[in-house]
């Protein structure tokens, strides 16, 4: 599946981090649309409500921070896994935390991969590399009807 057919959802409360991630992805030629939510709560509201249909139009890949106000990453994952429309979504955690409890808790909720921000390389280049090689090989979820 080509990355241009994917919609990337970045859930990140740190504005500077979010802008940085978007810049890195765009600079590496990734042309997928990217939507940013500032925390789990905003993302949940959008997925439940007004934007539900728009977001269901093409396969989603989530890049999810863990430590966020209002609704944190793990709480958001619990919501996602409980909603029949989104329970099968592909989620990569993108967090500062290297704590074993966080890694285990994320994989308990079956994320596709747990990424530690400080391990993404000096210029964060591992993130676009991961997304490009993932989308090159993986057939994503068909649209639910």
Partner 1 sequence: MPLDRPLHLILIENEAMDGRAIDGKTIVRACAGIEIACELTCFGDGQEALAALRGDFGAALQMQPFLILLDLNLPQMDGIDFLDELRADPVWRRSIVFVFTTSRQDADKAAAYDRRVAGYLVKGEHSFDYSALCQLLEVYEKSVQFPTV
Contact code string over 86-115 relative to partner 1, x by CB under 8 A: -xx-x-------x-x--xx--xx-x-xxxx
Q: Does residue number 58 form part of the binding site for partner 1 (CB under 8 A)?
A: no
* Distance from the first to the final alpha carbon of the chain: 20
Cα 71 to the center of its chain, rounded Å: 15
Q: Pick between residue 42 and residue 56 the one whose CB is nearest to partner 1.
A: 56
Cβ-based neighbour number of residue 139 at 10 Å: 8
Q: Pick between residue 16 and residue 119 the one whose CB is nearest to partner 1.
A: 119
Q: Does residue number 129 form part of the binding site for partner 1 (CB under 8 A)?
A: yes
Three-state DSSP state, 4? helix
Token pair, residue 58, equals 């093409």
Q: Segment contacting partner 1 (CB under 8 A): 18-26, 50-58, 67-75, 80-88?
A: 80-88
Q: Pick between residue 2 and residue 88 the one whose CB is nearest to partner 1.
A: 88
Measured at the CA of 101, the angle between CA 95 and CA 103, to 5 degrees, comes to 45
**8 φ/ψ angles, rounded to the nearest 5 degrees:** -90, 130
Q: Interface with partner 1 by CB under 8 A: which residues? A: 81, 87-88, 90, 98, 100, 103-104, 107-108, 110, 112-116, 119-120, 126-127, 129-130, 133-134, 136-142, 144
């Amino acid at each position: 599946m080509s990355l241009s057919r994917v919609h990337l959802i970045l859930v990140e409360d740190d504005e500077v981090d979010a802008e940085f991630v978007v810049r890195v992805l765009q600079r590496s030629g990734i042309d997928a649309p990217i939507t940013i939510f500032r925390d789990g709560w905003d993302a949940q509201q959008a997925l439940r409500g007004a934007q539900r249909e728009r977001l269901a139009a093409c396969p989603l890949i989530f890049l999810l921070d863990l430590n966020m106000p209002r609704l944190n990453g793990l709480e958001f994952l619990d919501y996602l896994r409980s909603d029949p429309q989104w329970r099968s979504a592909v989620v990569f955690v993108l967090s500062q935390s290297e704590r074993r409890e966080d890694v285990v808790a994320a994989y308990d909720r079956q994320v596709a991969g747990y990424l530690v921000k400080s391990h993404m390389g000096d210029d964060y280049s591992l993130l676009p590399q991961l997304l490009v090689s993932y989308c090159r090989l993986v057939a994503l979820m068909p649209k639910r009807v």
